[in-house]
Amino acid sequence: MRVALLLAAQALSLVAVDAYAVPGFNASQVFGKRVKKRSLGKRDDDPSDFSWVKKWAAVGDSYTAGIGSGNLLTDAVKDTPENTHWYCSRYDTSWPVIVNKALGPSVKEFLFKGCSGDRTGGIHKQITALPTDMDLVMMTAGGNDLCLAKLIEKCVLVPSGDSSCDSVIAVAKGNLETILKGNLLQLMSALDDKMNDDGIVIVNGYAQFFNVESEGCADQAWPYLTLWPGNSGLTIKRRSVFNDFVVQINAILRTVVEETSKNTKYKWKIGFSNWDPWVRDGVQGQMCDPDGTGNYPDAEQPDLQFFKPDTSVSDSDTELRRRHIGEWNELAESRRAAIAEVERRNFETELYNSRLYNTANPGAEVKHRLDRRFPSAPGCPGDKPNVDVQPPGIGLPDHVGKNFHPNERGHYTIASFALQTLVDTRADVLNMVAPSCPPQDKLTCARKRDGDKPGNYQAYATAARINEDVEDFCMNKAQRPTGQDEWEASHTFHEKTPDETEFKIKVSSGDTAFDRNDCVKKMRSISDNCDGNDPNNPLNFKFGGEFVSGYSTYTIQPKWQGRNWPATTKIYGHCEGWYHGYWSNFMIRGRGWASHDFGQDSLEPKARSCIGGGLTLWRFKYFDKPDADGNEWQADFNTPIWVRRRCFMNDKVQSGALGSTGGCSKGND
């Protein structure tokens, strides 16, 4: 259903910009006697029919305003200067505009109040300015309470050194722990004064910005980042910090929605719309994807869901950056340290002037503010002292400020998930089971990818190992954390060998139980259908792949990059044994066998059994890359004399280990 709604939303055509100008509202509805709220009633049996929505509003931050997505909306009606479209950076391909079109002609009043840069304090004002008798309110809120704009500015776009970035991160973490949940609950309380009985509130989550599969993104030309002393680029560690904030925000949003839903005082329904799994797993939607080139737009990554700077690096760019970095390195170390110290002091002076961080008891300050039924100020660096609601806007022109915000594709995705959640929540109002589309299974085999492209794999493992490991992973290794809808489990078998393989299951949402037998079935779908019947793969090597089924993603990923490519088509090896008087020495090399156990479960016991004892100084190693003959490993060991003919010349030991060297023609044992 979500995918269908996404495609439907993307097919919507946008009408003239002025058609979405925000109408005014009757002040008497807000400031006069409260209008008695009407119940929407349960007058139909189709949750996907939106004709019940007559009056609705979109409130929130820049994710609601849609900064940069499409064209800036014009102001067709007289409004206060601080609430105009240009002031709040509202755009005509934002998800509220897309949703409004999808809701259809039944909508009589659409209030677009989202404003770029607003924290929960500003969003609280947006809500209190709404008229009563609202059928539907959709929103995004919470990111700016973590000083997200300042995080992006200080840590990516125009960083002032790692210490400034770390200081903003410290504020964000503190706000996560102290004020965010309380602030969001205050928004729910404010909405209660505005919603019809049986009305609906949809809270949209956020999506993780970055792919963290590889470090390649750190080498791209993110503005100023790689030129600044002390910065090491947009590393996986730095990207993970941003992603972790999104995960924690979404967790708090989900908790707030669940607590609000259980609050019997509220007569309206609420739903949480989580589009993050689609960005992570449904499409290649994140920045720093291994397939991305750094260009924007990027033909290699057409489904990117965020605006980003063009970070591609040409040969001339590389040379220019090299020169700049060289110039920085010519500065004395003390000079560079002085620059960083000045930046740190200036920033921390700004940071700790905020009211929340300039009090002897921040916890008491938070409680005091919550008691006032108004969201607490997050105290972001650069805020005006003693001002609860900061002016909106992120302090940068829209063409810069739109970075790290959803692009047009991202807004269609948000709209699609919001509409799906609206259908689900409406079904709850009607006491019905929400309609759904059967999930479509999708199998992607790794070998079908371009093997020479960076980020793709040329690894494979033997069928016997994969099939054995499937059982072990699903039946023993994979463990679902108690009570979690979204979870993942992984395990790597046969590490540091050519058969090294990672097995993973990732559940985004929706599954209520983990069926181990079904896990085996899905994993075997990858093993049995990827490459197993390929005539060019007579040894039935397994290249792995990914199987998406419903809300679950199953992955088998061989990891060893030092094997023959293309994959070897026959078992092969080399053997030689040399007489040394009282003992003999054997050296065996091979490929396509003994690839998971350092020979200890295959070659060594077969050799020891054949010679009847006396095998000593066993040494075994896997090569980082195949030797000139394509061999992947080598074993050396000593034996009693005169065993070559009866144990190795006839391939007895080798075949017993499921391999072959074609005898052992070299040597004098």
Q: What is the 3-state secondary structure (H, E, C) of 496-536?
A: CCCCCEEEEEEECCCCCCCCHHHHHHHHHHHHHHCCCCCCC
* Residue of 550 and 448 predicted with greater confidence: 550
- Which pLDDT belongs to residue 87? 85
Per-residue pLDDT of 111-159, as tens digits, reads: 999 999 888 889 999 999 999 999 999 999 988 877 766 666 666 655 4
* pLDDT at 124 (0 to 100): 93
Segment 561-572, tens digit of pLDDT: 889 988 899 999
Local structure of 568: helix, strand or coil? coil
Q: For residue 472, is pLDDT > 70?
A: yes
Bond preceding residue 566 cis, omega within 30 of 0: yes
176 has pLDDT over 60: yes
Report the half-sphere exposure of 395 (CA within 13 A, side-chain side).
16
pLDDT value of position 134: 97
Task: Round the average pLDDT of the chain to a whole number and report it.
Answer: 79
Q: Do domains 2-8+45-429 and 442-558 have the same CATH topology?
A: no
Q: 310: which 2 tokens?
A: 């063009």
Over 90: is that where the pLDDT of 475 sits? yes
Paired sense of beta strands 552-558 and 572-579, if any:
unpaired
The pLDDT of residue 446: 81
Pairing of strands 572-579, 584-591: antiparallel
Please state the rounded mean pLDDT for residues 322-343.
40
pLDDT at 78: 56
pLDDT of residue 343: 40
Q: How confident is the model at residue 434 (pLDDT cuts 50, 70, 90)?
A: confident
Task: Evaluate if residue 221 carries a pLDDT over 80.
Answer: no
How many residues would you count in the chain? 669
* Sheet-wide strand order for 487-493: 442-445, 545-549, 552-558, 501-507, 487-493
pLDDT tens by residue, 246-288? 898 899 999 999 999 999 999 999 999 999 999 988 899 999 9
Q: What is the pLDDT of residues 371-427, one digit of tens each?
A: 345 566 655 655 554 445 555 554 568 888 898 899 999 999 999 999 999 999 999
* Residue 502 token pair: 């990672």
Cα–Cα dist 130/193, whole Å: 9
- Topology of domain 2-8+45-429 in CATH is Rossmann fold (3.40.50)
For the chain, the structural domain boundaries read 2-8+45-429, 442-558, 572-667
- Residues ≥6 apart with Cβ < 8 Å to 580: none
Does 24 score more than 50 pLDDT? Answer: no
Return the CATH number of 442-558, one of 3.40.50, 3.30.430, 1.10.1760, 2.30.30: 3.30.430
Read off the pLDDT band of 1 (50, 70, 90): very low
Q: What are 632-651's pLDDT values in tens digits?
A: 999 999 999 999 999 999 99
**More confident: 76 or 577:** 577
pLDDT of 608 above 50: yes
> What pLDDT is recorded for position 143?
83
Element (H, E) at 12: none
pLDDT on residue 109: 96
Q: Per-residue pLDDT for 102 more than 80?
A: yes
Across 323-327, 441-445, 660-664, the highest mean pLDDT is recorded for 660-664
Rounded to 5, what percent of the chain is helix, strand, coil?
40, 15, 45
Which of 70-84, 376-390, 538-552 is the least confident region? 376-390
> How much is the average pLDDT of 325-346?
40
Q: What average pLDDT does range 505-520 have in this prediction?
A: 82
User: Residues 578-583: what's their mean pLDDT?
Assistant: 93
